[in-house]
Structure 1
Amino acid sequence: MIKENMKAGGEAMKIKTKLIFSFSMATAVMIVLLGVGIYVLEKLDENVNDIVSDRYIKIKLIRDIRFDSHQMDRNTKGMLRIHNRDDLLQEISQLEEERSTVESVMVELEKLSMGERAQNDFVTLKTDYNRYIDKQNKIIQLLLADDYEAAAHLYEENTDNLQKLMTTISDSVSTYEKSMDQAFANSDYLYSLSVKIMFSMVVVGALILSCIAWWVIKEISNSLSKIIDGLAGVTYGSTVLPRIELKTRDEFGEIATAFNTMTRQLEEHAARELENDWLKTKFSEVTTLYQGVEDLQTLGQIFISNVAPIVGANLGLFYFKEECETGPCLKLLASYAYRGICSGKDSIQIGEGLVGQCAADNKIILLTQVPSDYTKIESGLGEATPLSLILLPVAFEGNVMAVIELASFEDFSDSKRQLLTRLTENLGVTLQSIAGRMRIEDLLKKAQLLTEELQTQAEELTSTNEQLAEQYRQSEQKTIELEEISAELEENARQLAASSNYKSQFLANMSHELRTPLNSMLILAKMLTDNADNNLTPKQIEFAQTIYSAGCDLLHLINEILDLSKIEHGKMEVNISEVFLDKIVRNVKQNFIPVAAQKRLDLIIKVDNDVPPVVYTDEQRLNQILSNLLSNAFKFTTHGSVTLHINCIEKEMIFSVIDTGVGIPQDKMDFIFGAFQQADGTTSRNYGGTGLGLAISKGIAALLGGQIVVDSKIGQGSTFSLYLPLRGPSDINTQNSLKNFNERRMVPEVAAVLKLPSDTETLFQGKTVLLVDDDMRNAFSLTTVLESYQMKVLYAENGREAIDTLIQNPDIDIIFMDIMMPEMDGYEAMRRIREIPKFNDIPIIALTAKAMKDDNAKCIAAGATDYITKPVDLEKLFAMIRLRLCT
């Protein structure tokens, strides 16, 4: 019962209360022990004082009386032999002093407390002493009267009195010694008793304190064990986190409650993040599949065949709006697991049935209780009625172009419906683009037929004059038709241009969506790879390196897609400047000698003697082309060598990449430079890659005024040759030259800034950074890096919060500004900050995941000091910080 009450009380008590209770009990036990000890010591002290101050002093005084009495007797005996009166008087005077001493001792002894026996002994002592003194006085009188014989006789009589006095003194001493022995015995007994009492009290106190300590430690250790078990159960990447089962109402119970609340919130956050990542990944996968598709039938089949399994649909139909005899209608373009048109219909009118109504309303229709006789989903084993049905309109600028119908045995979750909504929104742009292109092709074919007809009619006009008038009329009619076709071509070209703009905007937004999570992933993976705290195992470092490598590969793919888009839309810029060939060769060696060593291939670089040391082209783009060509060569070569041969023929510089690899079939030569295409494009191909490298290289070569020529034989290898025109300094645009000159002139200045103090922590320590970003993952990763350099980081979620934070903290040293944010984006925030006079010179570094043309210029025009794209290159970022904090 006591144990249960103690346990119940322990669960209700706070840790602070338990510790105070334990300390109070320990203090009480110590006070009791101290009180007992003081009491025993006082008793011992009283006993010792009694022995020392009473008995011992009495014995000493009595012994002093005995000694002085003997001394007086000796002096008296000595006076019997002195016959000189002066000497006698001197001896008498000395005797009087001794008497005075004895009498003072008597007085002091009388003042001390005595028992009844001691009092009787003292009375006897005093009586014997007075009797002895009386006769001694008579002896002195006889000596003064010169009656030495009578004095000697009386001295002999007084010897008995002295002996009796000594006996009385001995009896008193014996009495006091016995009393002192008894007091010593009492002291020993009291000491032994006090030791036993003290030992018992210490043992009892120790037991009490041990019980209290055991109880407190048990309560705390049990709670700590449960908390530690709960914390140890948290594993990286787990979607279900443990709970701490702790019922106590103390601080540990509060910690357990807070931990359980935190794990629940983390699980909810992780679920949302997983859902968002799933949406982005699947959206990217599907939209990538139909890049380069040029006809609606293929697009529809690719879309419905891939989307249906992703969202768990067991039946799918893709209807496309066309012009029928009775007006606009929806025709089945593609299907997934469908047995055929129901009721013999091959088209559906707008507003007819659910499909037609979806197109008419331009709204999603969702059915969660499909009737049993509605439709069947079939397989080789049987058929069953679906549970859910969803119809989604596909529109472009508010005009419905298609309807997607999906059926499933399960409900369509919110995340799946969101994915379908995003995919159909994007699909409208692609449908419009392909449909416009197909209409243009159709019109071009019609125009070609009309042109051929006109040519035929012209020949007929020359052969017969009789049909001239009729043919002239027909010619005018054809001309009118051609003008109409031309007008339609112009309209379709306008729509195609609009579709192209939508595609560019989509690529920019996709870049932002992918770069934003990629930024935090690369930063955190790089920090884990560096293992600054030395707390990771080699396996964990290897995992972090794998994550970082995969992120870099994904970033490379994003950059390739954006480069391809820039080339297709004529938005890629080239900067022509002088390029030193030895630098190009060094770059090739630095990048590909390790690759050659890894694959056990020879890397051969040959430069002909007549090749000029300097050429005028875009150094970055030249390195990009050579990197793509060499990467392809190493990819498809398993033995032998890869050679880079640089030579000149007339007015052209030739960079040839020669390999001894597998070679390219002749029937594949025509499309290896196509986007997303390879010689072996099957899912079982031996070589990876996206197929973008050669397409990008071909486009860049054209921008540089050159071309890429390929020669290959199966089993003998391939030769890719880049032909570039040889330019002189006079061929370079003056503005471009000035730009490059200024950039080269600034290099030493920047380098000088980067070399100020060698101790970068001294430069960064204590600096205040305002980080403006709506993505918590980026904010967390950048804050972690910046704080590792002992920088203070303030955070704002959008431009409006950034301005408020800056006004409240005017001592901010530098601002990192994201561009794409809700409420107020980075452009507007930078313009508002620059309107405040005291913030005109504060450094602002723009951070953005968009990497399209003019983004840099837009940021600088809005007030940015510098510009850097996501994922953030930390070395470049800290170089910018050093530059701006030192200028």
Structure 2
Amino acid sequence: MTPRVQLLRTAIGEEHDVFVVRQRGREVASAIGLESQDQIRVATALSEVGRQLFARLGPVLVVFDADTGPSPGLVVSATARLAGEPGEVDALADEVAVAQRLVDTWQLDQESGQVVITLGRTLPATAPALTPARIEELRGELAVLVPSRPVEEFVVQNQHLLATLDQVQSHRDQLLRLNAELEETNRGVLALYNELSEELEATNRGVVALYAELDEKSAQLREASEAKTRFLANVSHELRAPVTAVLGLVRLVTDPGSDPLTAEQRTQLDLIRDSAQDMLVRVNELLDLAKAESGRLEPVPVEVDLHRVFHALAGTMRSLATRPEVTVVVEEPDGLPALVTDETMLIQVLRNLMTNGIKFTVRGEVRLAGRLRDDDRLDLVVSDTGIGIPEAEHEHVFEEFYQIRGEVQAGTVGTGLGLPYARRLAALLGGELTLASTVGEGSTFTVTLPLRTGTG
């Protein structure tokens, strides 16, 4: 069922009927509920279409329909008989194209020897609904309307034109005012842009200067680090010779084939030997750190027998645990896969960690264990039941020469190089060294290594 319902029909049989059609268009548009400006647009478009059709093709039938579909509105069709040249329709379409912009819908059809131009305008949401009762009411209102004379309609048309011109002038004045405001705003934006550009350039110059200074400082730091490394290496070499000589002399004097010593002399020589050995350990730590920093340490991967490494560490570390309350526990590495890495570096890392655990454990145990991770890497874990490390110090303990002062540490001699060196070696082996610790409960150091050094 078509949603269109006829409201009114009229015709253009003479030239002055164009004014009647314009009047009818305005009246129907007003009655159906279109707003004032839309009424003028419909009337203007319809009069232009009617004038062109009548001028080119003769009499025109005009039908006003109400569209009661999903988008209700006014639909007007103008029909004329086609009797001209084949190109007449194209010329007509060009002539009435301007009217197309005044309406919402537009269609030009050529069928059965006729030309039909259909135009439509959608009702606003505030317009009354086009119910059957409303349609009948509209038909009654429109049926009693009497067309005015062409002159009167011409006057109305002129009034509409003047009102439109006033509106256009008002819009023009408003546009001029807005343009002036926009130009003023643009000048402000341009001034702000220039100011910001100057500030940005100044900032960029400052950033460039800062980067240059940072580069210079970085170069100085690199030079200082290299100088420190050279200094540590040189000092270590220079100290090793006299310390080694002292140890050699002590062994010579305490040799059974040498002259007998008194008990006091032997005690003093034992103290000299112990101090020299301790000094040699510190000197070796400095030398190892210097080698690591200079990049002269290169891992030499071999297949490592973890059972042999663990047993060797068990014997060495148990001899260092002089407190009877401290036990060294080394678990058997059963079920662990083969590990290809630098054996010497691995032993140094684990020995440093276990020595550190023994040093700061008053009672309990220091334990070495191994376990395979889900990502096919190996964890070697050194845990203790010592005094623990405060969380704020977890990263500091890996800094060179850094030592935490406390009840037990105060009586412990050290250089603060063991943990930094262990972390450097772990990195050279392609792994990492991490710490978990709780004050009063102990610490756990975990060395995570790939099963083959160099595979990440």
Structure 2 length-normalised TM: 0.53
Deviation (angstroms), 1:591: 0.3
Once residues 450 and 341 of structure 2 are traced to their aligned partners in structure 1, the CA distance between those partners, rounded to angstroms, is 9
What does the per-residue CA deviation read over 1:846-875, in whole Å, with 9 as the maximum and x for residues that have no partner?
Answer: xxxxxxxxxxxxxxxxxxxxxxxxxxxxxx
- 1:643 paired residue among 360, 367, 370: 367
Once residues 409 and 307 of structure 2 are traced to their aligned partners in structure 1, the CA distance between those partners, rounded to angstroms, is 41
- 1:599 paired residue among 324, 338, 358: 324
CA gap of 1:684–1:557, structure 2 versus 1, over 3 A, is closer
CA gap of 1:540–1:488, structure 2 versus 1, over 3 A, is same
Query: Does 2:401 match 1:676?
Result: yes
Q: Tell me the amino acid that sits aligned with residue 223 of structure 2.
A: A
Q: Tell me the amino acid that sits aligned with residue 401 of structure 2.
A: F
Query: Does 2:377 match 1:652?
Result: yes
Asked if the contact 1:607–1:647 (Cα under 8 Å) also holds between the matched residues in 2, the reply is: no
Query: Does 2:356 match 1:621?
Result: no
1:661 is aligned to 386
Query: Does 2:176 match 1:478?
Result: no
1:633 is aligned to 357
Deviation (angstroms), 1:676: 2.0
What does the per-residue CA deviation read over 1:202-235, in whole Å, with 9 as the maximum and x for residues that have no partner?
Answer: xxxxxxxxxxxxxxxxxxxxxxxxxxxxxxxxxx
Please list every run of 5 or more consecutive structure 1 residues that lacks an aligned counterpart in the other structure.
1-462, 733-887
1:495 is aligned to 220
Asked if the contact 1:645–1:655 (Cα under 8 Å) also holds between the matched residues in 2, the reply is: yes
1:238 is aligned to none
Q: Tell me the amino acid that sits aligned with residue 638 of structure 1.
A: V
2:422 is aligned to 697
2:4 is aligned to none
What does the per-residue CA deviation read over 1:417-438, in whole Å, with 9 as the maximum and x for residues that have no partner?
Answer: xxxxxxxxxxxxxxxxxxxxxx
Deviation (angstroms), 1:500: 2.7
CA gap of 1:711–1:499, structure 2 versus 1, over 3 A, is closer
CA gap of 1:464–1:575, structure 2 versus 1, over 3 A, is farther
2:34 is aligned to none
Q: Tell me the amino acid that sits aligned with residue 330 of structure 2.
A: I
Deviation (angstroms), 1:646: 0.9
What does the per-residue CA deviation read over 1:596-629, in whole Å, with 9 as the maximum and x for residues that have no partner?
Answer: 46534322222454311x3111211111111111
Q: Tell me the amino acid that sits aligned with residue 641 of structure 1.
A: E
Once residues 327 and 233 of structure 2 are traced to their aligned partners in structure 1, the CA distance between those partners, rounded to angstroms, is 40
Once residues 660 and 496 of structure 1 are traced to their aligned partners in structure 2, the CA distance between those partners, rounded to angstroms, is 39
Q: Tell me the amino acid that sits aligned with residue 521 of structure 1.
A: V
Q: Tell me the amino acid that sits aligned with residue 544 of structure 1.
A: L
Deviation (angstroms), 1:674: 1.9
Please list every run of 5 or more consecutive structure 2 residues that lacks an aligned counterpart in the other structure.
1-187
CA gap of 1:585–1:534, structure 2 versus 1, over 3 A, is farther
Once residues 236 and 208 of structure 2 are traced to their aligned partners in structure 1, the CA distance between those partners, rounded to angstroms, is 42
CA gap of 1:543–1:471, structure 2 versus 1, over 3 A, is same
Give the alignment of 1:373-392 within 5 angstroms. none
Once residues 407 and 291 of structure 2 are traced to their aligned partners in structure 1, the CA distance between those partners, rounded to angstroms, is 27
Once residues 233 and 333 of structure 2 are traced to their aligned partners in structure 1, the CA distance between those partners, rounded to angstroms, is 43
Q: How many residues align?
A: 269
Deviation (angstroms), 1:581: 0.5
Deviation (angstroms), 1:654: 0.9
Richer in strand (by share): 2
Q: Tell me the amino acid that sits aligned with residue 217 of structure 2.
A: N
Deviation (angstroms), 1:570: 3.9
CA gap of 1:464–1:599, structure 2 versus 1, over 3 A, is farther
Deviation (angstroms), 1:644: 0.8
Give the alignment of 1:418-497 within 5 angstroms. 464=189, 466-497=191-222
Deviation (angstroms), 1:683: 11
Asked if the contact 1:673–1:694 (Cα under 8 Å) also holds between the matched residues in 2, the reply is: yes
Q: Percent identity?
A: 34
1:720 is aligned to 445
Once residues 530 and 589 of structure 1 are traced to their aligned partners in structure 2, the CA distance between those partners, rounded to angstroms, is 30
Asked if the contact 2:323–2:362 (Cα under 8 Å) also holds between the matched residues in 1, the reply is: no
Once residues 311 and 292 of structure 2 are traced to their aligned partners in structure 1, the CA distance between those partners, rounded to angstroms, is 28
Asked if the contact 2:252–2:258 (Cα under 8 Å) also holds between the matched residues in 1, the reply is: no
Relative contact order, higher structure (CA 8 A, sep 6+): 2
Q: Secondary structure at the match of 2:410?
A: coil
Q: Secondary structure at the match of 2:260?
A: coil
What does the per-residue CA deviation read over 1:734-793, in whole Å, with 9 as the maximum and x for residues that have no partner?
Answer: xxxxxxxxxxxxxxxxxxxxxxxxxxxxxxxxxxxxxxxxxxxxxxxxxxxxxxxxxxxx
Q: Tell me the amino acid that sits aligned with residue 200 of structure 2.
A: S
Deviation (angstroms), 1:554: 0.6
Richer in helix (by share): 1
What does the per-residue CA deviation read over 1:111-169, in whole Å, with 9 as the maximum and x for residues that have no partner?
Answer: xxxxxxxxxxxxxxxxxxxxxxxxxxxxxxxxxxxxxxxxxxxxxxxxxxxxxxxxxxx
Q: Secondary structure at the match of 2:387?
A: coil
Structure 1 length-normalised TM: 0.28
Asked if the contact 2:384–2:444 (Cα under 8 Å) also holds between the matched residues in 1, the reply is: yes
Q: Secondary structure at the match of 2:447?
A: strand
1:587 is aligned to 312
2:275 is aligned to 550
Larger Rg: 1
Q: Tell me the amino acid that sits aligned with residue 256 of structure 2.
A: N
Q: Tell me the amino acid that sits aligned with residue 368 of structure 2.
A: L
Deviation (angstroms), 1:665: 2.5
What does the per-residue CA deviation read over 1:716-740, in whole Å, with 9 as the maximum and x for residues that have no partner?
Answer: 2221111112217x959xxxxxxxx
Once residues 553 and 512 of structure 1 are traced to their aligned partners in structure 2, the CA distance between those partners, rounded to angstroms, is 16
Deviation (angstroms), 1:569: 4.5
What does the per-residue CA deviation read over 1:569-608, in whole Å, with 9 as the maximum and x for residues that have no partner?
Answer: 4443322222111121121122022234653432222245
CA gap of 1:525–1:562, structure 2 versus 1, over 3 A, is same
Deviation (angstroms), 1:531: 2.9
Once residues 437 and 225 of structure 2 are traced to their aligned partners in structure 1, the CA distance between those partners, rounded to angstroms, is 35
Once residues 271 and 344 of structure 2 are traced to their aligned partners in structure 1, the CA distance between those partners, rounded to angstroms, is 28
Q: Tell me the amino acid that sits aligned with residue 524 of structure 1.
A: L
Once residues 444 and 385 of structure 2 are traced to their aligned partners in structure 1, the CA distance between those partners, rounded to angstroms, is 9
Q: Secondary structure at the match of 2:331?
A: strand
Deviation (angstroms), 1:649: 0.5
Query: Does 2:243 match 1:527?
Result: no
Q: Secondary structure at the match of 1:599?
A: coil
CA gap of 1:665–1:483, structure 2 versus 1, over 3 A, is closer
CA gap of 1:615–1:545, structure 2 versus 1, over 3 A, is same
Once residues 249 and 435 of structure 2 are traced to their aligned partners in structure 1, the CA distance between those partners, rounded to angstroms, is 42
CA gap of 1:560–1:682, structure 2 versus 1, over 3 A, is farther
Asked if the contact 2:390–2:438 (Cα under 8 Å) also holds between the matched residues in 1, the reply is: yes
Deviation (angstroms), 1:557: 0.8
Once residues 718 and 500 of structure 1 are traced to their aligned partners in structure 2, the CA distance between those partners, rounded to angstroms, is 31
Once residues 598 and 654 of structure 1 are traced to their aligned partners in structure 2, the CA distance between those partners, rounded to angstroms, is 28
CA gap of 1:472–1:592, structure 2 versus 1, over 3 A, is same
1:433 is aligned to none
Asked if the contact 2:237–2:287 (Cα under 8 Å) also holds between the matched residues in 1, the reply is: no
CA gap of 1:468–1:717, structure 2 versus 1, over 3 A, is same
Deviation (angstroms), 1:669: 2.4
Deviation (angstroms), 1:503: 2.2
Give the alignment of 1:132-281 within 5 angstroms. none
Give the alignment of 1:793-808 within 5 angstroms. none
Deviation (angstroms), 1:690: 2.1
Once residues 259 and 313 of structure 2 are traced to their aligned partners in structure 1, the CA distance between those partners, rounded to angstroms, is 35
Deviation (angstroms), 1:678: 2.4
Once residues 506 and 609 of structure 1 are traced to their aligned partners in structure 2, the CA distance between those partners, rounded to angstroms, is 44
